Chain A
């Protein structure tokens, strides 16, 4: 028997009673996994590993922020006092709410209830968009007050900003970090909403079942992670030294 033939045979005939689900017969199993459990475990571990990577990414950013916060405490406090705690608080509530709806969507996925998944994920998406909308309002207001770092920092009317003028460089540094940190966070939100559209399409296609819902669970992990980043960003940027 030639090897070519044996390869084909192996792809079409598994010995019976082999102890695991024959991979080529199970429509929900990718070709390279042995069984559904291995597939789900791999996907979940992959997501956790990815989130560890994300922690290191934001970790570097938080580290740099804290170094400068320590070095220029007064300026960073002054910069912080010009952020809008009201919007920040509302956004925190919105985002925690979206984590709740996401958790409910995962619960529905585990029961194989596609309709429930779609409903709760749409709610999550709506809350996510609300967050981004509020962020856009805040960004616009910072632009109007001349607090966007770079060439236009403190251009125009300085009304209400007199306290930061003596240390404008350092406050600009604070706003540099504010925009990079919240911008990176917002980028993760936008990517999250893009991923959500993909997960919804897969759900509509009937790919989410009681056996195979790792995609919803893993998206949920991602969403919670982005939420947690904000839980750190909010006190560091808005509340510290107020």
Chain B
């Protein structure tokens, strides 16, 4: 190396970060080199841009919803407009933000690097999936521009198939199309993890992030086609007037719910599992310890994926399904809590006696555990047949799934972005403000959604914008929390963009983390590795072998 300088922030003898090395970002220039790229890292960045756009769009709807709900009477929208607001919020956030969020950005960027490959197995299909995602997004955006949809994100029949006169078809086509992006991403990860692992990278040396992505990919591959055919059947009914889900014509609207939730319940784990993978990485790195019970965490991801496919009926306790089916689904739902609890206990055990360092990413990770704990436990309430009859379709459900899908998943997504941002962009962001925004999001989230549990328990139904006056206090608290949450989500956008130009140049391994991605330069070269790496140790080998290049002063391995 030519340029070695000594900086008091760095361990003596370590090569100083060098800006302007050849990497995947500056290997070629121009819009065309991005739009036609087959580099998984550039595709990850493309996804990041698309996903951020849809998150902002869905966020605007959330703001409008919370403002409207701050008063018991109608504030600025009619019931019909309100229906469209929460529907578009749900569709955009679920299908265009949460489902692709971690797999398509962090997963795309990291899966090949973590397994020691030059790219995913099918680079062109990877690019194709981004275009499919954007095309689906275009349809959904068009449906927003033309006035939105009012069926709720679940597209329940017969409302969506017969009665709704909004742009159901446009939005449904958008969801249908974007599903194929999800399938292709899952397929690509699955094949890559099976076939592209570097020599020595055995299944049980894989980072747990990869196990989580693997489990997620299984769900994407097996679940998404079912919602595709379901949407197609709704389209046939709407377009041709065949009564597939219309009881008047011999159809059965409950069948739609079965088919829809057969995908959409596992889809919750598409949104959550990758986040759990991120947390395993973060907790281990900033506790300076190998993850406690590696195999249990790895297999609990698979267990969640498998169990996720046999619990869909717990969304339908009140939909005339037989009480025996309800009981079975209730019991199976309890089983999902087991692998989820294994993960939380193991993360906690990893923290125990670790050298914990409260960096920005770590605070996000700890925030994840807190929010997921609440979201997961209230899931057990809802899975209980008797209690669900009381809180079904109330704000209790709204609060529960926001805790899991938004609180937990977004914490993990942002935590992961903070953790791998130096690797992705080669720049550091200021730690204090990252810690501040993590705290802001946690506090804002609790304030926004805790009152909704109470509201739901007291009987406030979801999807209404007019409510009795005694609920106003709780709604105002929730809106106040949402405002704090909004600031917390916007802050990272600013300091991430700021860091691209003004941030410190990142070292190759700024956190002193173990893992193949930290052994290559920041940002990586176009093909990640100059030579295919050979893996000779387990993941998270913080005890026996510290990665020297990024080891920082004051951060030492702790033997337990």
Chain A: minimal CB distance from B191 (Å): 5
Chain A: minimal CB distance from B186 (Å): 8
Cα–Cα, bound, A6→B525 (Å)? 10
User: A57, B226: Cβ atoms under 8 Å?
Assistant: yes
Chain A: minimal CB distance from B198 (Å): 9
User: B196, A38: Cβ atoms under 8 Å?
Assistant: yes
User: A173, B530: Cβ atoms under 8 Å?
Assistant: no
Chain B: minimal CB distance from A23 (Å): 9
Does residue A136 face the partner (Cβ distance < 8 Å to B)?
A: no
Cα–Cα, bound, A177→B290 (Å)? 54
Does residue A150 face the partner (Cβ distance < 8 Å to B)?
A: yes
Does residue B233 face the partner (Cβ distance < 8 Å to A)?
A: yes
Cα–Cα, bound, A61→B229 (Å)? 7
Within the complex, which residue of B21, B191, B236 is in contact with A2, where a contact is CB–CB below 8 Å? B21
User: A56, B226: Cβ atoms under 8 Å?
Assistant: yes
Q: Within residues 237 to 279 of chain B, which ones have a CB less than 8 A from any CB in chain A?
A: 239-244, 248-252, 255, 259, 262
* Cβ-closest chain B residue relative to A151: B241
Number of interface residues of A (CB under 8 A): 48
User: B252, A71: Cβ atoms under 8 Å?
Assistant: yes
Max chain B CB contacts within 10 Å: which of A7, A41, A151, A170?
A7
Within the complex, which residue of A6, A32, A41 is in contact with B118, where a contact is CB–CB below 8 Å? A32
- Given A32-B119, A67-B252, A68-B251, A149:B190 Cβ within 8 A: no
Binary per-residue interface labels of chain B (516-537) against chain A in the complex, 1 for a CB within 8 Å, 0 otherwise: 0000010001110011100000
User: B233, A180: Cβ atoms under 8 Å?
Assistant: yes
Does residue B187 face the partner (Cβ distance < 8 Å to A)?
A: yes
- Given A42-B121, A53-B221, A172-B242, A72:B250 Cβ within 8 A: yes
The stretch of A43-51, A90-98, A108-116, A222-230 that contacts the partner chain: A43-51
Chain A: minimal CB distance from B427 (Å): 17
Cα–Cα, bound, A71→B245 (Å)? 13
* Cβ-closest chain B residue relative to A37: B195
* Cβ-closest chain B residue relative to A172: B242
Does residue B122 face the partner (Cβ distance < 8 Å to A)?
A: yes
- Given A38-B195, A173-B249, A60:B259 Cβ within 8 A: yes
Contacts of A6 in B (CB 8 A): 530
Contacts of B2 in A (CB 8 A): 2
Contacts of B259 in A (CB 8 A): 60, 63-64
* Cβ-closest chain B residue relative to A167: B250
Contacts of A58 in B (CB 8 A): 229
Chain A to chain B contacts (Cβ below 8 Å), 25 pairs: A2-B21, A3-B22, A7-B526, A10-B527, A11-B527, A31-B118, A32-B121, A34-B532, A45-B191, A46-B121, A49-B187, A49-B190, A56-B221, A56-B222, A60-B225, A67-B252, A75-B250, A149-B241, A149-B242, A169-B243, A169-B248, A170-B250, A173-B249, A175-B242, A180-B236
